[in-house]
Amino acid sequence: MKSDIEIALSAELKDIRDIAKCIGAGEDDIDMYGRHMAKLTDGFIDKIADNPDGKLILVTAINPTPAGEGKTTVTIGLGDALSLLGKKAVIALREPSLGPCFGVKGGAAGGGYSQVVPMDKLNLHFTGDFHAITSANNLLCAMLDNHLLQGNALRIDPARIKLKRCLDMNDRALRNIVIGLGKRMDGVTREDHFIITVATEVMAILCLSKDMDDLKARLSRMIVAYNYDNEPVTAKDLNAVGAMAALLKDALRPNVIQTIGGTPAIIHGGPFANIAHGCNSIRATRAALKAGDYVVTEAGFGADLGAEKFMDIKCRMAGISPDAVVLVATVRALKYNGGVPKTELEKENLPALEKGLSNLIGHMENLKKFGVPVIVTLNNFYSDTEAEIETVEKCCRDHGCEFTVSKVWEKGGEGGTALAELVLNAVDSGAADFKPLYDDSLYLEEKIEKICKEIYGAGNIIYSKEAKNSLKKISEMGYDSLPVCMAKTQYSFSDDPSLLGRPENFDMHISDAYISAGAGFVVVLTGDILTMPGLPKHPAAERVDVSDSNEITGLF
């Protein structure tokens, strides 16, 4: 069997102008980045603004495991399956980060015959959006430190600087650093920090902005530090907004590529779901809804993180709602949740599978709380047995969810037609009655409690002294009405990655909180969550190379 990148490189790609025609975009409506990638123009987005919205299908998954779940693979395969059934389908995805691409997780272009292409360019520099976001964030950092050196007219307290530099790479050595060493004109000496680009507020702002005016307004509200009077200092106070917007001008425009099956894919933005809100941009999703009849999108990591934030943050801000949700699981991942080690996952083990089904049940029950039809699909592996598949199917039926097996990795869109038919039935039934988990009017602690107890299954919520003080300050500043963005491990419903399955009545530890005033949400940190990941002992980067024929190898 060919590797993912071998399949992608051997695929026959259509000219991006032909793909653009599928969403109603002519040559004047796109700016081409080579023959197979393009950006939509602002004029095209304005031109389709009055089109009726298509139907929105969200793809999410159980908690991720080392066995892999294939959420993006199913998303892409479902889009291709809808196209095969004669529907005008568009896929809306996030852009991959270089951090996981060269770390553990690998790229984010799907897999097998269910991929977006060109996958090598997408997983690496793509159209430069992440570079622009990194540059805008670090420009703001440079202007802040220059302000400190040049007299500090804003009376910024160097010990209360909240803004961090960023890099789109897993580099743990940069988590905590000291800057400004050397001579006086080398800067003010202080402690500083790096986070990964996808965890920055600039990334969140780009993904939640409706247009350039909204982008600049959100950048203006970014709180970068506090002064000696404990008052916030913003990017606007540093006169940085115009230059940041200039760097982000092209990055604000969604990108268009294609699947192996020729379905248009609008790909834009990429905040992590465990430390940010985990969804592609509002502009990309809204453009897809105006350009297609059926839009398939995804939310990062498990449904406890990505789907909850999609519903409570993105839908709230974008004024959209899903018409159906697809919940992806694998037999292997469920057995892992049932206690089977990674090396034993290919062996049939019904008792462990039944134990691990608690994780799937938790996600099914949670998703129903949002009032949207839920369809479970089992991403098929060759080692799955009939008895295992029947066990999962019975569990889904018993909990009121439609079920089917997906074989899109092996067969592309053809392997997802059964799933597509179930999705069409659910969407066209009009059964969706979407509602977010909590009201804006609740206090921050009430919103945190709703998420921790109703979605995660926590018993007690334990706040650190820092978290209590931070939440009190945020409330005093008038930000109680904002939604909450929980920063939590993706591997468990709890804040402990080792608690698999469906832990209940555990203690949830809130370590701190901070306001992302530009993005428009409050970030709540749980447990020991890292905003700058590290590389494993043998990172994926060790296997990446360029062949004699100038092709990228080893990305997967």
Active-site residue list:
71, 73, 94, 105, 273, 301, 381, 409
Tokens 């929980």 appear where? 486
The answer to whether 57 touches 324, Cβ cutoff 8 Å, is yes
- The residue behind tokens 């071998």 is 6
Closest listed residue to residue 90, CA positions, set 80, 98, 100 = 80
**What is the DSSP pairing of strand 110-111 with strand 114-117?**
antiparallel
| Alpha helical stretches, state H, 85-185 | 98-102, 119-123, 129-149
Contact between residue 443 and residue 333 where contact means Cβ atoms under 8 Å apart: no
Q: Which tokens belong to 224?
A: 């970068």
* Pairing of the two strands 232-234 and 30-32: unpaired
Alpha carbon separation from 344 to 49, 356, 526 (Å, rounded): 52, 14, 32
Residue 468 makes CB contacts below 8 A (sequence gap 6+) with none
Of the candidates 372, 378, 146, 412, the one whose C-alpha atom is nearest the C-alpha of residue 261 is 412
Q: At 66, which amino acid appears?
A: P
Q: Of 422, 490, 493, 415, whose CA–CA distance to 105 is shortest?
A: 490
Q: What is the dihedral of CA 124, 125, 126, 131, to 10 degrees?
A: 130
**What DSSP character marks residue 299?**
B
Reading the block at residue 37, the tokens are 């990638």
DSSP 405-426: EE-HHHHGGGGGHHHHHHHHHH
Phi first, then psi: what are they for 8, rounded to 5°?
Answer: -65, -45
